[in-house]
Amino acid sequence: MISVRDLHKHYGTARAVDGLSFEVRPGHVTGFLGPNGAGKSTTMRMIMGLDAPSSGTATVNGRPYRDIHRPMFEVGAVLEARAVHGGRSAFNHLLCLAQSNGIGPRRVREVLELVGLDGVARRRAQGFSLGMAQRLGLAVALLGDPPVLLCDEPVNGLDPEGILWIRTLLRRLAEEGRTVLVSSHLMSEMALTADHVVVIAQGRLLAEGPTAQIIAHGAVSEVTLRSPQAAAFSPVLQLAGADVSPGGDGPETLRITGLSAVRVGELAAQRHITLHELTTRAPSLEEAFMALTRSHLDFQIAEANAS
Ligand SMILES: Nc1ncnc2c1ncn2[C@@H]1O[C@H](COP(=O)(O)OP(=O)(O)OP(=O)(O)O)[C@@H](O)[C@H]1O
């Protein structure tokens, strides 16, 4: 488990992380979401003991990273895919790390296979594509078979096949009971990979919980209606509290928010309105995220205006 408690990181007057608290539990892939500069990498670096917090704590299984006796066996991280000594082969790179941590060559071969690099193990890492470097980074992180794994933007630079591969691997690692924290700004990808999310902006927590719940609370679903009587029905919907706009598909189509499809259907039945289509489009994680960051910005503007 990862615990972040009232974590702050200031660079001069800039607050990269500003009172952040959240927990990442085992058995789930937890998405760490936020716009550019939100503080995701800084938080991950503090969890991994690479940056010291200005105040607050970040612990892995109850201990700050610096107090973990054999870190490679407790927590693995892929923070910089390119942080590899280019002159060595993938196998030798892993073997060096393994040997200095008392891990045998068998585990090196295992992780190479696990990340799909066994075929290129003797090639110099220097010539690796970004996707291969990501895989090698993961192999390093998994060398000690740690129960906790952190990945910073792991799908960056991957092709669709690579993205699917990493999604499947991360989910499998979580199903094995590991704690998996994955940062990303790709919402649609995270919606497919992460069953939990932690959403931050400007170093502060915006939302935390199961992905489905965040989507349901963060954004409104939209109902599409197609009817030959759309123009006559529109004022009825507005009177019932809906926001109605043209559906963009001719005058017969309306886009409705603020009323459920069930309620729209009931109103149509009462008024003998003929319906050719009535569909609900579920909001995406992207829309929920935009709604969350928008309300955060609105709050900040209101705060600034009040002071
Ligand atoms: N070493 C540093 N010195 C000064 N400012 C820094 C340093 N590291 C990060 N920052 C600032 O802290 C803020 C948070 O950056 P961070 O890289 O953690 O965000 P992020 O959410 O990971 O963004 P991205 O997705 O763009 O990587 C940014 O405003 C960044 O400019």
HEC readout, the chain: CEEEEEEEEEECCEEEEEEEEEEECCCCEEEEECCCCCCHHHHHHHHCCCCCCCEEEEEECCECHHHCCCHHHCEEEECCCCCCCCCCEHHHHHHHHHHCCCCCHHHHHHHHHHCCCHHHCCCEHHHCCHHHHHHHHHHHHHCCCCCEEEEECCCCCCCHHHHHHHHHHHHHHHHCCCEEEEEECCHHHHHHHCCEEEEEECCEEEEEEEHHHHHHHHCCCEEEEECCCHHHHHHHHHHCCCEEEECCCCCCEEEEECCCHHHHHHHHHHCCCCCCEEEEECCCHHHHHHHHHHHHHHHHHHHHHHC
Which of the residue ranges 191-205, 216-230, 258-272 would you say has the lowest mean pLDDT?
216-230
* pLDDT at site 302: 61
* pLDDT at site 297: 61
Mean pLDDT of 250-255: 92
- Confidence (pTM): 0.82
* pLDDT at site 127: 80
Pocket, ligand 1, Cβ cutoff 6 A? 11, 14, 16, 34, 36-42, 185
The rounded Å distance from CA 43 to ligand 1 centre is 9
User: Counting atoms of ligand 1 from 1, which one is nearest the CA of 36?
Assistant: 26
User: Counting atoms of ligand 1 from 1, which one is nearest the CA of 42?
Assistant: 18
27: tokens are 């058995």
pLDDT band, residue 300 (cuts 50/70/90): low
Residue bearing the bigger pLDDT, 182 or 88: 182
Average pLDDT, the chain: 89
* pLDDT at site 82: 63
Q: Is the ipTM of this complex over 0.85?
A: yes
Q: 80 pLDDT exceeds 80? A: no
User: Counting atoms of ligand 1 from 1, which one is nearest the CA of 45?
Assistant: 18
Which of the residue ranges 13-17, 84-88, 122-126, 166-170 would you say has the lowest mean pLDDT?
84-88
CB atoms within 10 A of CB 303: 9
* pLDDT at site 240: 94
User: Counting atoms of ligand 1 from 1, which one is nearest the CA of 185?
Assistant: 25
The rounded Å distance from CA 40 to ligand 1 centre is 8
pLDDT band, residue 126 (cuts 50/70/90): confident
**How much of the chain exceeds pLDDT 90, in percent?**
63
The rounded Å distance from CA 205 to ligand 1 centre is 16
The rounded Å distance from CA 16 to ligand 1 centre is 6
Mutate to test the pocket of ligand 1, among 13, 18, 41, 184 (most ligand atoms within 8 A of CB): 41
The rounded Å distance from CA 293 to ligand 1 centre is 18
User: Counting atoms of ligand 1 from 1, which one is nearest the CA of 43?
Assistant: 18
pLDDT band, residue 294 (cuts 50/70/90): confident
Q: 301 pLDDT exceeds 60? A: no
The rounded Å distance from CA 47 to ligand 1 centre is 15
The rounded Å distance from CA 32 to ligand 1 centre is 14
**How much of the chain exceeds pLDDT 70, in percent?**
93
